[in-house]
Amino acid sequence: MTRAQKEAVVAKLTEEFKEAAAIIDCDYKGMSVSELESFRNAVREKGLKAQVVKNTLALIALKNNGIEDFELKDTNILVWGDDLVVLAKTVTEFAKEAPEGFKIKQGYFEGEVADAAKIEAYSKLPSKEELLGMLLSVWTAPMRNLLYVWNAPKQNFVTVLENIRQQKENS
């Protein structure tokens, strides 16, 4: 890789990391190419980005964004995106099903370096869509309950009339 290519990679990563809400560093040692590609595809489906980068280039891009405490050793694939909960869920789900070589090392969430336990805790939070669904359910509950109350007497009255009609037919 030439110096110009390295500078281009650092510039691209610096820009990408600036826009990212969170970054996760995973170890992929021992994974086959097809397994790594399946991980990349799973990440892309969720609107996230993943890239294997030389440690020195990634560290430069991270430091350009003010992330100083991030340590990269051995083999690393960096995953980043706009929604930190979706990012944590995607990586954690893959780590549970992945071969032994894949593991979550660390992440950068909300301005600080996070360990694997914190990333797993974020993965258990509801996503943005789930939160919106809960909020919508709370907002519509009073109207839904009012409709139940209004419809209950009608249903009871109809049931009583049907019972009376059946009794007359049977007698």
Residue 157 has pLDDT above 70, yes or no: no
* Average pLDDT of the segment spanning 58-72: 90
Query: For the CA atoms of 24, 28, 34, 39, what is the dihedral angle to 10 degrees?
Result: -20
pLDDT value of position 68: 87
Q: Edge-to-edge strands of the sheet including 102-109?
A: 49-52, 77-81, 22-28, 102-109, 112-115
Overall pTM surpassing 0.75 (yes/no) = no
**Distance between CA atoms of residues 142 and 115, nearest Å:** 42
Residue 13 has pLDDT above 80, yes or no: yes
User: Which residues 6+ apart lie within 8 Å of 66 measured at CB?
Assistant: none
Q: 101-111: per-residue pLDDT in tens? A: 789 999 998 88
For the ranges 44-58, 87-101, 117-131, the one whose mean pLDDT is highest = 44-58
For the ranges 4-8, 126-130, 157-161, 162-166, the one whose mean pLDDT is highest = 4-8
Residue 48 has pLDDT above 70, yes or no: yes
The proportion of the chain whose per-residue pLDDT surpasses 90, expressed as a percent, equals 40
159 pLDDT tier (thresholds 50, 70, 90): confident
Average per-residue pLDDT for the chain: 86
Give 99 or 74, the one with higher predicted confidence.
74
